DNA sequence: CGGCTTTGACCCGCGC
DNA sequence: GCGCGGGTCAAAGCCG
């Protein structure tokens, strides 16, 4: 292939790649880190992995065009050019195959990691699993005056007042996870309402307190604090279990005035 | 206008 | 009993 044809082939290849990605729309490559709400991430279906790098003109059409208007004298020259173009096409197709395989592998690994993260965030891990996040969560302290609407009103000694065993079990579920995030907003599929913020000793970053926006029906609370050791890590402590279904992703758009969807 | 965030005040348990 | 620190309340302000 001569130097004049190369840029043209590259240009057409680039155009076709752009069209393919656009056509695939949601199914485009979406494996980048920090892709927003993982639940809304369109890249949830393995079958969506697609990267068609076809270069936009068939071998047949190439033959037709190359055979047209050919004079006998320059037929050999054109034939040589055609051979080079075909060779280049084969190379591109091969590269396409390699890239597709690579992308597929990356996506499947991303998929596995994503599933692991969602598992951690939704299925509040059992207390014993917290061992990997030292120091362990401090015992929940409750006010003496706490009544029935302060679910699981338990003091640090474990004395329960006016709380059913079910409520106790629910409030006893405390899980702690560490998440890498740029902002204090960490999406986990539920709506949260911030009710307080406090500067905590030995940590320059304030701790934020959130309640599930379904409160008081839902007793779940969470604390979010940036790690003092690694500021890119958020330490999120969940208390209790949700007693309602997770809001549908579509609800996000209708949630009037919801500025924090953590 | 309703629902959210902000933030200072207050409450409570714990250690001394 | 007192002071400290963590957790919560609630008024004020903000925002869509």
A193-202 per-position pLDDT tens digit: 888 888 888 7
State both tokens at A225.
């604090």
Tokens 């369109």 sit on residue: A42
Buried/exposed A45-54: b ≥16 CB within 10 Å, e otherwise: eeebbebebe
Position A212 scores a pLDDT of 83
Highest mean pLDDT among A11-20, A38-47, A104-113, A201-210: A201-210
Strand ordering across the sheet containing A206-212: A174-180, A233-239, A221-226, A206-212, A192-199
Is strand C within 7 Å of residue A195 (CB)? yes
What's the mean pLDDT in A84-90? Answer: 83
Share of chain A above pLDDT 70, in %: 32
Band (A98; pLDDT cuts 50, 70, 90): confident
Q: Which domains does chain A have, with CATH numbers?
A: 174-245 (2.20.25.80)
How far apart CA A18 and CA A84 sit, in angstroms, is: 25
pLDDT band at A170 (very low <50, low <70, confident <90, very high): very low
Lowest pLDDT segment from A66-70, A93-97, A156-160: A156-160
Q: Is the CB of A223 under 7 A from strand C?
A: yes
Q: How far apart are CA A245 and CA A242, in angstroms?
A: 8
Q: For residue A67, what pLDDT is reported? A: 46
> Could you give phi then psi for residue A194, rounded to 5 degrees?
-75, 135
CA–CA distances in Å: residue A54 to residues A23, A47, A105, A148: 13, 19, 20, 66
A3 touches strand C (CB under 7 A): no
Residue A262 pLDDT = 40
A216-233 residue pLDDT tens: 677 788 888 888 777 778
- Tens-place pLDDT, residues A4-40: 445 554 554 444 433 333 333 333 333 333 333 333 3
- In whole angstroms, what is the distance from residue A256 CA to residue A92 CA? 50
**Straight-line distance from CA A63 to C1' C15, in Å?**
64
Model confidence at A234, pLDDT cuts 50, 70, 90, reads confident
- Residue A221, CB, less than 7 Å from strand C? yes
Average pLDDT, chain A: 56
- The tokens describing A175, both together, are 């899980």
Considering just the CA atoms, what is the radius of gyration of chain A in Å?
29
The nucleotide closest to A260 (CA, C1' atoms): B4
3-state secondary structure of A192: strand
Which pLDDT score is estimated for A257? 34
Model pLDDT, residue A86? 84
Mean pLDDT of A116-132: 46
The answer to whether A150 touches A142, Cβ cutoff 8 Å, is yes
Which of A174, A171, A127 shows the shortest CA–CA distance to A153? A171
Measured CA to CA, the distance from residue A228 to residue A234 in angstroms comes to 9
Quickly give A132 CA vs B11 C1' distance in Å: 33
Nucleotides of C under 7 A from a protein CB: 4-10, 15-16
């Amino acid at each position: 292939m001569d130097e004049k044809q190369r840029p043209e082939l590259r240009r057409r290849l680039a155009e076709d790649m752009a069209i393919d990605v656009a056509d695939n729309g949601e199914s485009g490559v979406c494996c980048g880190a920090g892709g927003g709400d993982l639940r809304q991430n369109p890249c949830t279906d393995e079958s969506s992995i697609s990267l068609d790098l076809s270069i936009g003109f068939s071998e047949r059409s190439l033959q037709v065009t190359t055979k047209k208007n050919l004079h006998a004298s320059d037929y050999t020259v054109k034939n040589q050019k055609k051979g080079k173009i075909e060779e280049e096409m084969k190379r591109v197709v091969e590269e396409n195959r390699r890239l597709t395989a690579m992308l597929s592998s990356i996506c499947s690994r991303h998929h596995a990691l994503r599933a692991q993260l969602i598992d951690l965030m939704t299925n509040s891990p059992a207390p014993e699993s917290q061992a990997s996040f030292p120091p362990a969560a401090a015992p929940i302290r409750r006010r003496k005056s706490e009544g029935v609407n302060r679910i699981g009103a338990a003091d640090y000694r474990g004395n329960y007042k006016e709380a059913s065993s079910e409520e106790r079990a629910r409030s006893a579920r405390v899980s702690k996870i560490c998440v890498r995030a740029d902002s204090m907003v960490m999406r986990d599929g539920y709506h949260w309402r911030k009710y307080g913020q406090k500067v905590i000793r030995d940590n320059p970053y304030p701790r934020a307190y959130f309640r599930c926006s379904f409160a008081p029906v839902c007793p779940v609370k969470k604390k979010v604090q940036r790690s003092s050791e690694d500021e890119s890590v958020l330490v999120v402590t969940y208390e209790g279990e949700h007693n309602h279904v997770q809001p549908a992703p579509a609800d996000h758009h209708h949630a009037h005035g919801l500025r924090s969807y953590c």
